[in-house]
């Protein structure tokens, strides 16, 4: 049995990590149904009120989704971080995608230390080096650095090896992002990392 893959989606706030998370899940699910990929389990490890349910709720009822998000939103306490860190440490399935808060903080350090890989998503390219250092200091293998370009018209893939580098355009809640070239490429990369741990 291969080692479980625990991928952290990290980077500055307001970069679209929750949208990327949902797009990845929707891109991998068809492969999972065909027996070609593990189930993409999602763990929300930030207290912003946006659980795995949020994107679909926005699509179906934006007003209710906003109300529920406000109700679920809480503070990033040490207790919350310890609980999420334990979740990450103990999870033992082939593929987990972990969505963390947008700050380099002791809480995120606690949570991310038990992951195996990292994807850095940033709308501000000047913030990437500090997130790279943060991940490297936690011994996480950085598999992708993606520029979140909300005003962009298309995705750009600059490099796939040794690391996926490029940009993704308009990460908008409520839109189906699963067919975006960057999401498809990253989804395939995650499935390759899991080879031998399912099926």
pLDDT digits (tens, 9 = 90+) for 155-189: 999 999 999 999 999 999 889 999 999 999 999 99
Distance CA 112, CA 10 (A): 9
- For 104, counting Cβ atoms within 10 Å of its Cβ (0-12 exposed, 13-18 middle, 19+ buried), the class is middle
Q: If you compute the radius of gyration of the chain from its CA atoms, what whole number of angstroms results?
A: 16
pLDDT digits (tens, 9 = 90+) for 28-58: 999 999 999 999 999 989 875 444 544 555 4
Report the pLDDT value the prediction gives residue 78, as an integer from 0 to 100: 84
Which has more pLDDT, 46 or 114? 114
Least confident of 57-66, 138-147, 161-170: 57-66
Contacts 24+ apart (CB under 8 A), 167-171: 168/16, 168/20, 168/121, 171/15, 171/16, 171/19, 171/20, 171/23
Q: Yes or no: say if 190 and 29 are a contact pair by the CB < 8 Å rule.
A: no
Which domains does the chain possess? 5-193 (3.40.50.300)
Per-residue pLDDT, averaged over 70-85, amounts to 74
pLDDT at 136 over 90: yes
Distance CA 17, CA 41 (A): 15
pTM summary value? 0.86
Report the pLDDT value the prediction gives residue 37, as an integer from 0 to 100: 96
Q: How confident is the model at residue 2 (pLDDT cuts 50, 70, 90)?
A: confident
**Is the bond into 162 cis (omega within 30 degrees of 0)?**
yes
């Amino acid at each position: 049995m291969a080692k479980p893959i625990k991928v952290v989606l990290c980077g500055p706030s307001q970069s679209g990590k929750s949208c990327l998370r949902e797009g990845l899940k929707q891109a991998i699910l068809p492969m999972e149904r065909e027996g070609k990929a593990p189930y993409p389990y999602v763990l929300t490890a930030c207290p912003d009120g946006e659980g795995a349910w949020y994107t679909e709720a926005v699509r179906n009822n934006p007003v209710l989704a906003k109300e529920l998000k406000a109700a679920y939103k809480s503070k990033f306490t040490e207790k919350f971080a310890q609980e999420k860190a334990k979740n990450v440490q103990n999870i033992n399935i082939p593929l987990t995608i972990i969505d963390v808060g947008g700050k380099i903080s002791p809480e995120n350090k606690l949570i991310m230390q038990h992951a195996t890989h990292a994807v850095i998503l940033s709308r501000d390219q000047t913030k990437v080096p500090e997130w790279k250092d943060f991940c490297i200091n936690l011994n996480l293998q950085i598999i992708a650095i993606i520029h979140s370009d909300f005003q962009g018209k298309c995705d750009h893939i600059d490099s796939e090896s040794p690391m996926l580098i490029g940009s993704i355009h308009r990460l908008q809640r409520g839109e189906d992002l699963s067919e975006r070239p960057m999401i498809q490429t990253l989804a395939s990369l995650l499935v390759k990392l899991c080879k031998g741990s399912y099926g």
